[in-house]
A and B are shown apart, each in its own frame.
Chain A
Amino acid sequence: MNRRRIGLILEIAVPLLVVAALILWSAGSTSFYFPPVTDMLVTFEQTWLFDRFGSDVLPSLYRLAAGYAIATVVGVAAGVVIGSVPLAARAAEPIVEFLRAIPPPALIPFGILVLGIGDTMKIFVIAVVCLWPVLLNTVDGIRGLDPTLTATARIYGITGRDRLTRVVLPGTGPQIVAGMRTGLSLALIMTVVSELVASTNGVGYFVLQSQRDFAIPQMWSGIILLGVLGYLLNAALGLVERRVLAWHRHATESAR
């Protein structure tokens, strides 16, 4: 058997083995904190498929999507402007560096103060936190645009909307997506934290509430769900990236 084959088998088998081992090892568990994994999975099925899906998962996803979308649009727009005007970049740098260095959850008390504890506050803090990686990466991308490409656009009078959608944004695409990737994990973190701090529904709220009620399998099922969500969201962005940036993948591959 060749190494490729063995590698592939390992990649599939080991995770399955890990799960199986966890199930076996925890089977007779009487530990209060770590109930049998099978209990967690049964609770997971009962809770999330699809009993509390509408009441907790959807609100969480809505907040995440809204904040993330706002951050992406604002971040790209501001990044294009700042990146295209060197003076703006230098002027904005210290302010952006400072705001970005604030640990994101520290903004939640500010959000609560100004916007209350509803969805607006959560969407706001998610958006603010995801904004920085998108913005900074867009600025980098714009500044890194090949000067020959921008000169070509000037020569052929490609200006305005055409220039933005057919030259600048595609050329900045790889960096924008890199920023969106960082932003996505931040968005999920902020969704959970904001629901832990102040909420009446959402997956984060559910996990905290289960812990307070000592409903341990429920708590674990929520933690597992958050892990699955993180994994799926990341994978979904990867798929989008493969489609949108196919040219980039091929171009860098053939350059090697």
Chain B
Amino acid sequence: MNTRTDDNHRPTATDGKRDSVLEVSGLQKTYGSGARATVAIGDVSFDVAKEEFVCVVGPSGCGKTTLLKCMSGLMTPTAGQVRLAGTPVDGPPEQLALVFQDYSRSLMPWLTVRGNIALPLRRRRLSAADRDERIREAVDSVGLTGFTDHYPFQLSGGMQQRVAIARALAYQPDILLMDEPFASVDAQTRADLEDVMLAVRRRYGVTILFVTHDIDEAVYLADRVVVLTQRPTSVHEVVTVDLPADRDQVTTKETAEFTHLRAHIYRAIRRPAA
């Protein structure tokens, strides 16, 4: 387990017990101004504990991507704050990685798979052997063994998406934000990748915030699921997933608890729309 401590950590009002590492408080984001202003996020607050796996679900266009961009420091919120380990985020923090929804456009088309994964590692000042080992491990875990010397245009959409995931894994961040990362892979690969994420979390103690529109996936992966409303977006409900930590694609999804949670979230998503 991870034993680092944060000197400036303060418990928050949202949750006194949890050791929260990411706090979103009163976040609001409006695009544009005047008559054409779009309130993408109305008022969103929640937190993520250290080494927690939190999934975010919500209707399409409710501002999930916007939320991740604000949390990663790519965008300044119109109001409210994002705090990482107690410090306000005002730019991309070093220990954070983000897998973009627009995966194909987040890969450098002039670099091979290896080049794309290696690029962020340059600042890590690893030895060549360490770096190659990390790349190999990441590529293997997303099932792209043998494709390291291919260029993105030689890969299918799903494969490109996995390159973007491998790049984030090799970076070994403390905090990993993922925006619908499995949207264009087939069902079997998707199940495999879900298990990869669980293993990565267990092995490296990464804190993961995972946006998805697939409720099964959210319940299967998460410790807690944040359900967002339609625009102007706020948190509708935070559902705690009390499933055992060791999960399995077949047996976990068979349990009554799983079915119940799934139905609950499904209703929660539908209700604001109705």
Q: Which B residues lie within 8 Å of A151 (CB)?
A: 69, 74, 100, 106
Identify B106's interface contact among A148, A157, A255, CB under 8 A.
A148
Smallest CB separation, A161 vs chain B (Å): 10
Known A148-B102, A166-B111, A173-B110; further 20 A-B contacts with Cβ < 8 A: A152-B100, A154-B74, A155-B72, A155-B74, A156-B97, A156-B167, A157-B92, A157-B120, A157-B123, A166-B119, A170-B108, A171-B110, A247-B109, A247-B151, A248-B109, A250-B153, A251-B109, A251-B151, A251-B152, A255-B153
| Chain B residues positioned under 8 Å from A162 (CB to CB) | 119, 122-123
**What distance in Å separates the Cβ of B71 from its nearest Cβ neighbour in chain A?**
11
Contacts of B72 in A (CB 8 A): 155
Please state if B97 and A155 are interface contacts (CB–CB under 8 Å).
yes
Once bound together, how far apart are the Cα atoms of A61 and B205, in whole Å?
62
Q: Does B48 contact A (CB under 8 A)?
A: no
Contact A170 B110 (CB under 8 A): yes
- The answer on a CB contact under 8 Å between A154 and B92 is yes
Instruction: Please give the distance in Å from A152's CB to the nearest CB on chain B.
Output: 5
B10 close to chain A: CB less than 8 A: no
Which residues of B line the A interface, CB within 8 A?
A: 69, 72, 74, 91-92, 94, 96-98, 100, 102, 105-106, 108-111, 119-120, 122-123, 151-154, 167, 171
**Neighbour of A155 across the interface among B96, B111, B122, B154, CB < 8 A:** B96
Q: How many A-B residue pairs have CB under 8 A?
A: 66
- A148-B105, A149-B105, A251-B153 known; A158 vs B119 contact (CB < 8 Å): yes
Q: With A170-B110, A250-B151, A250-B153 as given contacts, are A155 and B119 in contact (CB-CB < 8 Å)?
A: no
Question: In whole angstroms, how far apart are the Cα atoms of A171 and B119 in the complex?
Answer: 15
A117 close to chain B: CB less than 8 A: no
Cα–Cα distance between A254 and B108 once the two chains are bound (Å): 16
Least Cβ–Cβ distance between A230 and chain B, in angstroms: 30
Chain A count of residues within 8 A CB distance of the other chain: 22
Chain A residues in 8 Å Cβ range of B92: 154-155, 157
> What DSSP secondary structure best describes chain A's contact surface?
helix
CA distance A250 to B112 in the complex (A): 13
Sort A-B residue pairs by CB-CB distance and give the 3 closest, nearest first.
A156-B120, A148-B105, A170-B110
A124 shortest CB reach to chain B, Å = 34
- In angstroms, Cα B95 to Cα A191, docked, is 54
CB-CB under 8 A for A149 and B119, given A156-B97, A157-B94, A250-B153:
no
Q: Does the CB pair A254–B106 fall under 8 Å? A: no
Nearest A residue to B94, CB-CB = A157
**A220-256 near B? 1/0 per residue, CB < 8 Å:** 0000000000000000000000000001101100110
Question: Is A167 in the interface zone, CB < 8 Å from B?
Answer: yes
Q: How far is the CA of A158 from the CA of B109 in the complex (A)?
A: 16
The answer, yes or no, to whether A146 is at the interface (CB within 8 Å) is yes
| Secondary structure class of chain B's binding surface, majority of residues | mixed
From 157 to 209 in chain A, residues with beta carbon under 8 angstroms from any chain B beta carbon are 157-158, 162, 166-167, 170-171, 173
B123: chain A residues at CB < 8 Å are 156-158, 162
A248 / chain B contacts, CB cutoff of 8 Å: 109-110
- Given A154, A157, A254, which contacts B153 in the complex, CB threshold below 8 Å? A254
Expressed in whole angstroms, the Cα–Cα distance for A162 and B118 within the complex equals 12
Chain B residue with minimal CB distance to A245?
A: B110
Bound form: Cα–Cα A172–B111 in Å: 14
B175 CB → nearest A CB, Å: 11
Note all chain B residues with C-beta closer than 8 A to A152. 100, 106
Taking the nearest CB of chain B, how far is it from the CB of A158, in angstroms?
Answer: 6
Query: In the complex, what residues of A have CB within 8 A of residue B100's CB?
Result: 148, 151-152
How close is A217's CB to chain B, nearest CB, in angstroms?
49
Can you list 26 pairs linking A and B with CB atoms under 8 Å apart? A146-B105, A148-B105, A149-B106, A149-B108, A151-B74, A154-B91, A154-B92, A155-B74, A155-B92, A156-B123, A156-B167, A156-B171, A158-B119, A162-B122, A162-B123, A170-B110, A170-B111, A171-B108, A173-B110, A247-B110, A247-B151, A248-B109, A248-B110, A250-B153, A254-B154, A255-B153
Inter-chain contacts of B98 with A (CB < 8 A) = 155
Pairwise interchain contact B109-A156, C-beta atoms closer than 8 A:
no
How many angstroms from the CA of A170 to the CA of B110 in the assembled complex?
7
Q: How far is the CA of A156 from the CA of B108 in the complex (A)?
A: 13
Given the complex of chains A and B, what is the CA–CA distance between A29 and B112 in angstroms?
A: 60
Residues of chain A within 8 A of B120, CB atoms compared? 156-158
Which of chain B's residues have a CB closer than 8 A to the CB of A155?
Answer: 72, 74, 92, 96-98
Query: Does A156 contact B105, Cβ atoms closer than 8 Å?
Result: no
Residue of B nearest to A151 (CB): B74
Of chain A, the residue at the smallest CB distance from B104 is: A148
Partner of B108, one of A154, A157, A166, A255: A166
Q: Which residue of B lies closest to A167 (CB)?
A: B108
A13 smallest CB distance to B (angstroms): 37
Scoring A151, A162, A250, A254 by chain B CB atoms within 10 A of each residue's CB, the highest score goes to A151
Residues A114-162 near B (CB distance < 8 A): 146, 148-149, 151-152, 154-158, 162
